[in-house]
Amino acid sequence: MKTKFRLLAMVLAVLMLVTSCGTALADDGYASTYTYNYDYWSDYRESPDAYRVTNVIYSGDLGLDVAMKKPQSLFVQGNMLYVVDSGNNRILEISRDGNEFELVRIIDEFKIGAAQEPAAAEETAVTDETVATEEAAAVEETAVIEESTAAEEAVQAEELPTVTTFNNPNDVAVDEEGNIYVADTNNQRIVMMDKDLNYIKQFVKPTDSTFDQSLSFLPNKLVIDNSGRVFTLATNVNKGVVKFEANTEFTGYVGANKVVYNLVDYVWKTFFMTEEQRAQQESFVPTEYCNIYMDEDSFIYATNISFDEYDLVWDNAQPIRRLNGVGTDILIKNDRYPPIGELYWQEQAKDYHGPSKFVDITVLHDDIYVGIDRTRGRLYGYDSQGIMLWAFGNMGNSDGCFSNAISIEHMGNDLFVLDQNEGAITVFVPTEYGNLIYAANEAYLKGDYDGSADLWRDVLKMNANYNLAFIGIGRSLMRQENFTEAMDYFKMAMDRDNYGRAFRLWRKIWVEENIGWLVAVLAVIIIIPMVLRSIKKKKMEVEAYERNQVTK
């Protein structure tokens, strides 16, 4: 009897271990996380895992003597992964080779070259002046040139930073040439250095009148475009993304958030408060963005976590935006709901109550983007049309779960998630199911509609409840002008918009193909009644004439 109880206890323990945090072992031996999507009625639909955990990188795995402390951000360039270890005032540069990760170097300071050292510059200036004086009679022109050079070096020396270490860095970016940009927050600057960590230039507090000079310049997040322009989010700046030209010139703001206010508070403040009371109240001002990411086409994706949760469904909150050059949101939203993450945040357990708050976002190839939700430690993937591809992840301390997910990046289709509390980086790679979704989407965008339809059919074999597969097949068929079959797939997906488009196109072609007999039928319908009416009229006229003759 005792043996039976022991066996039962062991079975229950194993079940609890496997199901904890929604994580289990897949058939291939890798940790897998509960993955789902929403159907037409917005109900949960379990699905195969789109991603699996292949590695969790801790400080000890990198050989760090000092563990990561409150890391803030990730950045990927090629096969290099950069981690902003804010609590230790450093950047970790890590190389990847397959599933192996190696610490290349720790970036905790930058170098001022010998030719740029302030002391050396001053000494050079004095030497040049002496030489110029001694040789004034013989080489007056050379002296003028050297004196000018000395003056330029002195000016450069004045512009050089006086601090060569970082103080609470919060973000990093690397351009195609290998130049490194660091948001050196507490030193109130963005530092640019070359790949050998030699100082190049810095972006500092704007002196423009549009920037409140009473505020400190605290760059928090940054991105760089192909022209070397720097875009940064600065703490306490709510006018949008701060923009600098490549020459460090401040040129304004991009994409300011909308003003968020409560109508009742607005009316009360406007009509029932004195000027003194209004001055003491919080102003209705735009909110700050939480994070930004620049895609391969130089569009900025921005996330916003300050909004009224009831504005989400009506797309007034816009937690994810894609900003063009003038700051207009051009994110495509062709699903029944905008990309807001969790749909049932009010019904969730108390610990996870509240809407999704996207603290970071990354954009893969083909405009597929993935947001990380700090409320549930969950990843939400969307395609270029704003349709959810999958959602997975949870709160916890098992592989694939997070206690405080703070940043997300990608290398190819692989995803990296930084957990601030754990000081760990989780590596997710796509499963066969996930790769099929990406391949089907890519084939469609490349114009391979037959191939895309075949791939979506393979997806359906693995997940018969995947609406996007029906839509994908329908779109491919519609591109092939097979509108009747496309309508069948749109009908199965309950996609009324695409069904309506396919029906209108089918109707147009049907009319064009049958216009001959349609005209004939129409003519018959119109002409025969006209002939009959004419005959009847003539007959009536004859009868009337005959009656008149009889009367006479």
Instruction: Show the low-confidence residues of the chain (pLDDT under 70).
Output: 1-33, 113-163, 258-287, 347-352, 551-552
Residue 202 has a pLDDT of 96
Residue 151 has a pLDDT of 45
Lookup result for tokens 């030699």: 198
- What tokens does 174 get? 């690397």
* Among 227, 388, 223, 335, residue whose Cα is nearest residue 289: 223
Lookup result for tokens 């990608």: 410
Q: pLDDT (tens digit, 9 = 90+) per residue, 338-358? A: 999 999 887 655 566 789 999
- What tokens does 60 get? 């000890």
Neighbours of 240 (CB within 10 A): 20
In the chain, the percentage of residues whose pLDDT exceeds 70 is: 77
Is residue 291 helix, strand or coil? strand
Residue 534 has a pLDDT of 80
φ and ψ at 38, to 5 degrees?
Answer: -115, 145
Residue 32 has a pLDDT of 54
Residue 541 has a pLDDT of 75
Residue 115: C-alpha distances to residues 121, 127, 142, 151, 154 (Å) = 7, 14, 20, 14, 11
φ and ψ at 368, to 5 degrees?
Answer: -80, 130
Q: Which CATH superfamily is domain 445-513 in?
A: Tetratricopeptide repeat domain (1.25.40.10)
Residue 72 has a pLDDT of 96
